Chains A and B, each alone.
Chain A
Amino acid sequence: MNKINGEIYMQNKEQKELLVRLGEAQNKFGYLSEKVMIELAESLDMSISDVYGVATFYSFFSIRPQGRNIIRICKSVPCFLKNSQVIIETVEKEIGIKPGETTPNGKFSFHLTNCIGVCDKAPAMMINSEVYIDLTPNKISQILKAHK
């Protein structure tokens, strides 16, 4: 048998920094620009398509500009049982956009996400890396106001 599981491609140990570096760029610029990906491909000795492949695999990376604050509302079953639908609709109304969109003023991007691991305090959402639990429509406007 030839090399297993592409161990052929395993030689590049530099590549282990890729996720970390993509994460840093994502935080710094709000998205992964082509420029950033080209630089990373060069410095980690990878092809551009491989960097792009990693960047588009993970849901916390984005290849399009995002708002300053990224809202991720949990849509998985336990939150759904606790009326996450109402929370989603409230956020839609408050900031005037649908999931997948960014507000024109660049303040918020809004996504639906899968279980964020606080199902005992459902419904829940994240804004950037902050987790908000036991949500009610009333809480939403307060929470959103606190974000610039």
Chain B
Amino acid sequence: MEQIALTINDRQLSASSGMTILEVAKENSIDIPALCYRQELSPIGACRICVVEVERSETLVGSCHTPIAQGMVIHTHSKKVLQVRKTMVELLLASHCGNCFMCDKANICELRSIATDLEVGLPRFQVKKRYYPVEDASPFIVRDLTKCILCRRCVSACNEIKKEKVFGIAYRGFDSKVVVDFDQPIDKDVCRDCDVCISFCPTGALSKHGEIGEEKKGEPLIISG
């Protein structure tokens, strides 16, 4: 395997070709936030939270899907990068339902945790919220798409890990939605005893029927702003 020399945050590093920026960063304990990427899945590239600055590139690049190249000079936490990530999280929160107090997943929610890290407060943008009825007809899975951030992990996880195709993406633009069949509430036989998509969902959009409070473990998170 060819070795590639690159610089991340002023550190000279070496890694094997074919790796992505995010993988190399991780290997070197540099933490880049990611809302759609998961090691077990092929990169999705949708959330854009993982963007980093690569010198001589006009735009920022998605670190979860961009392979490293010889001599790359990368900044993962420059002012520019942090500002963009912050705006993006704020955009996600603006159309999100916003009631973290009532959410079973509040303390394991990746969106909330990234928001805290980036010190994002209450969103200043006013947009319509995406309100959908909670889907709790299935005994195995509860879908509350009002909390969905369209990261598409559930689609990929079902596809790539379970080799099923329960979910699809429908509609376009702001109206895009993760759907089952003809946009019906989830009630699939194949979804028995399989928590794969639930375990991948970064927010409270997918969960199990659980005992109240079961998910509310861990350190309390403080959202400033």
Q: How far is the CA of A2 from the CA of B172 in the complex (A)?
A: 27
Known: A8-B42, A8-B160. A49 touches B167 (CB 8 A): yes
Q: How many of chain B's residues have a CB under 8 angstroms from any CB in A?
A: 26
A2 touches B170 (CB 8 A): no
In the assembled complex, the CB of A6 is this many whole angstroms from the nearest CB of chain B, namely 6
A1 and B20 in contact, given A47-B168, A48-B181 (Cβ under 8 angstroms): yes
> Does A117 make an interface contact (CB < 8 A)?
no
Q: Is B137 an interface residue (CB 8 A)?
A: no
Known: A4-B65, A6-B42. A52 touches B159 (CB 8 A): no
Which of B18, B20, B165 lies in contact with A49, CB distance below 8 A? B165
What is the distance, in angstroms, from B152's C-beta to the closest C-beta of chain A?
10
A-side interface mostly: helix
A residues in contact with B19, CB < 8 Å: 1
Closest to A50 in B: B168
**When each residue 171-211 of chain B gets 1 if its CB lies under 8 Å from chain A and 0 otherwise, what string results?**
11000000111110000000000000000000000000000
Instruction: Confirm or deny: A125 has a beta carbon within 8 angstroms of a beta carbon on chain B.
Output: no
Flag if B172 contacts A57 (CB, 8 Å). yes
The answer to whether B182 and A34 touch across the interface, beta carbons within 8 angstroms, is: yes
A63–chain B nearest beta-carbon distance, Å = 8
B42 touches A52 (CB 8 A): no
Which residues from chain A contact B223 at a C-beta distance below 8 Å? Answer: none
The answer to whether residues A53 and B65 also contact, given A1-B43, A4-B43, A8-B160 and a CB cut-off of 8 A, is no
- Given the complex of chains A and B, what is the CA–CA distance between A4 and B43 in angstroms? 7
Contact between chains at B42 and A57 (CB < 8 Å): no
B172 with A49: CB separation less than 8 A: no
CA distance A46 to B166 in the complex (A): 11
Q: B122: CB under 8 A from chain A?
A: no
| A3 and B42 form a contact (CB under 8 A) | yes
A40 touches B (CB below 8 Å): no
**Cα-based distance from A6 to B41 in the complex (angstroms):** 10
Name the residue on B nearest A46 (C-beta): B165
Among B167, B170, B171, max chain A CB count under 10 A is at B170
Given that A2-B43, A4-B43 are contacting pairs, would A52 and B183 also be in contact in the complex, using a CB cutoff of 8 Å? yes
Q: Closest residue of chain A to B173, judged by CB?
A: A57
Contact present for A53 and B170 (CB under 8 Å): yes
- Which residues from B are CB-within-8-Å of A52? 168, 170, 179, 181-183
* Extra inter-chain contacts (7) besides given A47-B165, A49-B166, CB under 8 Å: A1-B18, A1-B65, A2-B43, A7-B42, A8-B42, A49-B182, A52-B168
What are 16 A-B residue pairs whose CB atoms fall within 8 Å in the complex?
Answer: A1-B19, A1-B65, A1-B67, A5-B45, A7-B42, A8-B160, A37-B182, A47-B165, A49-B182, A52-B168, A52-B183, A53-B169, A56-B171, A57-B170, A57-B171, A63-B182
List residues of B whose CB falls within 8 A of some A CB: 18-20, 23, 41-43, 45, 65, 67, 156, 159-160, 165-172, 179-183
The 10 closest A-B pairs by CB, nearest first: A49-B168, A47-B165, A2-B42, A53-B168, A3-B42, A53-B170, A48-B181, A50-B168, A56-B170, A56-B171
